[in-house]
Amino acid sequence: MKNLMIGSLIAASVLGLAACSDDDNDSANDGNSGSQAALHIQQAGRYQVDPFAFDEGAAEIVAHDASLQRLFVVNSDAKTVDVLDIADPANIQLLGQIDATTEGAAANSVAVYQGTVAVAIEAEDAQAPGKVVFYSGTGLEKLGEATVGALPDMVIFTPDGQRALVANEGEPNDDYDDDPEGSISVVNVSAGFNAPTVTTLDFTAFNSQADALRDAGVRIFGPGATAAQDFEPEYITVNADGTRAYVSLQENNAIAVVDLDALEITDVLPLGYKDHSVAGQGIDPSNSDGFNVRTVPVLGMYQPDTIASFVRDGVTYLLTANEGDARDYDAFSEEVDVSEVVLDAEAFPNASALQTEEQLGDLKITSTLGDGAADDAYEALYAFGARSFSIRRADDAALVYDSGDDFERITGERYGDDFNNDNTENDGDSRSDNKGPEPEAIAYGEVDGRAFVFIGLERMGGVLVYEIVDVAAPQFVTYLNNRDLEADPEAGMAGDLGPESIVFVAAADSPIEGTPLLVVGNEISGSTTLYRLTLE
């Protein structure tokens, strides 16, 4: 599943931005051979929340409205959705804000369809039902609302705009004595945004299948939780004709399939595990040795956050950003260091060496897997996330491609021992023992008929670009990172930090005529950055 050309591609292609601050800086790749044009990525504009709000989620989820040339950006610090005019990307203007506190606790997600904005808003009691609220994209007046499930975390419109789909995460409280069911709400707005009808789909039909699902590799492990309570929908993508939705269940390491015609959750598909002992699929598991990607006896749980979809030769494929996530509550935490557990002597004859800080000692693993014999000795180690992006067939979630250890090798080639930085400080290798670069955001787009995927790294920052010529062997193109590792992040001088979402704007929808854009929302720096994409 690994692109075996990674060494030469890194050498040829890592020509991107170290710190792009004006229109004269651009990232290009020369990895394409022959007469094929190279992709150039150049900053077109940037908006910084004022006053500067460091590490407050001031620019998280971004949605673009082509009819108005506006961006709608979730600002968790202000508990608003900020409305940005990007008609002139070099001169982005704040036009107004949608105040989420008038409807609930905070906005978690935003989507837009031809001038109408949908905002997912959680309740003051996070375990209570939330809302999706509809607003005019021009005057920002409220058009209607619908009650959805607990902790609505993501909203998306179907391609025809007739329905809004909401992923209701249903997280438990810190005491883990109130664990609402995860669900997906289908909000039909065909009769108008002032008269929506809601069908909320739950997972209760899977409660009786819990043991079989666990055996297949689906993680169902919350204390006392049914399958319906344990599944926590994270992100939704919809197929091209709007008949199927695919939902990441991040903590469960699975994908749910929704039949939008029958209004039924039809499948929960396990994603399996990544073997980090295989060449080309290694990780750097330690903060104490700088840039040192290697094979280790560890399995990675894919645990995707953002997912996207595309069609090739009539087949729908899913793109997943394999970030990883642990359940960590006051009453229950699955997160443990390798040094804190007993390793089975037969499975790990070199246990004492593996449990040192320089090896695997500080690597975060789950306590819920690996002790198959139930004797308090781990025969296998399961780490959070896969530090990669994957392509899977949508119908069965079968793995078609995984980027292996590309991400850490590419960032390590760029930054050396300063790779795997956290997104809040420039202290060098501080995340290798905990999910590494954390691929969080992903988007698909076509530039002059050529297909590209863009992946945002939440911790190290920046965006990796791959071209999908062959779905089984995408080619790395370039890596751009508008981050200054010599500057003080808290002073607002370090550039873009913590990409949380990516939006691809097609050429036909762009404010720059004929030129596609990439929009990145950076939650730590509170900045929204636009890049123009050209083939030259």
Q: Which domains does the chain have, with CATH numbers?
A: 6-325+385-535 (2.130.10.10)
Rounded mean pLDDT for each run of 10 residues along the chain, 536 residues in total:
35 32 53 72 98 97 98 98 98 98 98 98 98 98 98 98 98 98 98 98 98 98 98 98 98 98 98 98 97 98 98 98 98 98 98 98 98 97 98 98 98 97 96 98 98 98 98 98 96 97 98 98 98 97
- The reported pLDDT for the residue numbered 35 is 64
Task: Mention every residue, 6+ apart, whose C-beta is less than 8 A from residue 87.
Answer: 69, 511
The span from the CA of 285 to the CA of 324, in Å, is 14
The structure's pTM equals 0.94
| Cis before 51 (ω within 30) | yes
Name which of 114, 129, 119 is nearest 162 in CA terms.
Answer: 114
Instruction: Provide the residue type at 491 as one letter.
Output: A
CA dihedral of 434, 437, 443, 449, whole degrees rounded to 10: -140
Question: For residues 524 and 497, is the Cβ–Cβ distance under 8 A?
Answer: yes
Name which of 480, 517, 467, 456 is nearest 36 in CA terms.
Answer: 467
Question: For residues 502 and 519, is the Cβ–Cβ distance under 8 A?
Answer: yes
**Three-class SS state of 51:** coil
Strands 299-301 and 382-384: parallel
Question: For residues 172 and 253, is the Cβ–Cβ distance under 8 A?
Answer: no
The span from the CA of 118 to the CA of 187, in Å, is 11
- The reported pLDDT for the residue numbered 14 is 30
| CA of residue 393 relative to chain centroid, distance | 18
Cβ-count burial 261-270 (b if 16+ within 10 Å, e if not):
eeeebebbbb
Question: For residues 494 and 487, is the Cβ–Cβ distance under 8 A?
Answer: yes
